[in-house]
Amino acid sequence: MTTTDQATATTTLTTPRTRRGLLVHYLLCTGIAVAMLVPLLFMVSGALKPNDQVLSDGGSWRALLPTDPSLDNFHSAWERADFGRLMLNSVIICGFTVGSGLVVNSMFGYALARLRWTGRTVVLAAVIALIIIPFEALAIPLLLMVTEMGWHDTYQAQIIPFIANPFFVYLFYSFFLSLPRELEEAARMDGASPWRVFRSVIVPLSKPVYASVAILGFLVVWGQLLWPVMVTRSEEVRPLPVGMSVFQTLPPIQWGDIMAFATMMTVPVLVVFLIFQRAFVQGIASQAVKE
């Protein structure tokens, strides 16, 4: 870009109309961010307050700022709800589901994007069609299958049905299509097998989509409630969302403890996002540019 072009671009960006547009854009984004942060601030503030102040301060600004913060609610919620066991169950379920899903869905997406085999077009159409089918339509047949296999009230019932996900398969498929074929062809000329090409060439170039799928998959599994309610009965395999639904009706109802439970349940989600946020943003940006 020449000096004249740079000056023209700078002048264009500093016109009054452009400045007003940017101001409106920033105000709108700020308003959305505030609207999303207020419930979180209320939750954290309630977790740090005495139980009798959580609802009494709900109609004033004090609902967002604890006047006398304390960690007593966290200790009480941990003990009363057996939070450690619930957390372990959720970590096991999420870890195996997301980890296995990254392997299975990425391999399936690569097979659809790069390999040529009979019925590939039909399978791709089926994957796209399955994306629009809601889980509620499949819940009862899936429950009957799980019961017939003797998996009721087990980890398997909460992990295996959700390893393969058509939406994640399609994300991998669309990302792999954008990768240059020359790198794969060069590896094949050196004698690499399709598996070696996938493992040594494709996977290192696909960190953004892996991070995106990991975050999205973690969010889906971590917050899942309907299916665990249907297939779990005992506390030994019950995940956090089901544990919270039971805990909030457990007498005596302590709103400070409930807010502390919700806060502790939210922290792992924030940690996972902070760890993968850079690759996640890169994955979303690459998909947007490609589209």
Mean pLDDT score across all residues of the chain:
85
Q: Read off φ and ψ for residue 61, nearest 5 degrees.
A: -65, -20
Per-residue pLDDT of 69-85, as tens digits, reads: 888 889 999 999 899 99
pLDDT at 7: 47
pLDDT band at 17 (very low <50, low <70, confident <90, very high): confident
Per-residue pLDDT of 102-126, as tens digits, reads: 999 999 999 999 888 898 999 999 9
Give burial (CB, 10 Å; 0-12/13-18/19+) of 260: buried
How far is it, in rounded angstroms, from Cα 67 to Cα 62? 8
> Any idea which of 33-37, 47-51, 191-195, 280-284 has the lowest mean pLDDT?
280-284
CATH of 81-290, one of 3.50.50.60, 1.10.3720.10, 3.90.550.10, 1.10.10.10: 1.10.3720.10
> Any idea which of 32-36, 48-52, 81-85, 158-162 has the lowest mean pLDDT?
48-52
How far is it, in rounded angstroms, from Cα 221 to Cα 22? 37
Query: Which of the residue ranges 170-174, 185-189, 287-291 has the most confident prediction, judged by mean pLDDT?
Result: 170-174
How far is it, in rounded angstroms, from Cα 7 to Cα 3? 6
pLDDT band at 43 (very low <50, low <70, confident <90, very high): confident
At 53, the amino acid letter reads Q
Residue ranges covered by each domain of the chain? 3-70, 81-290
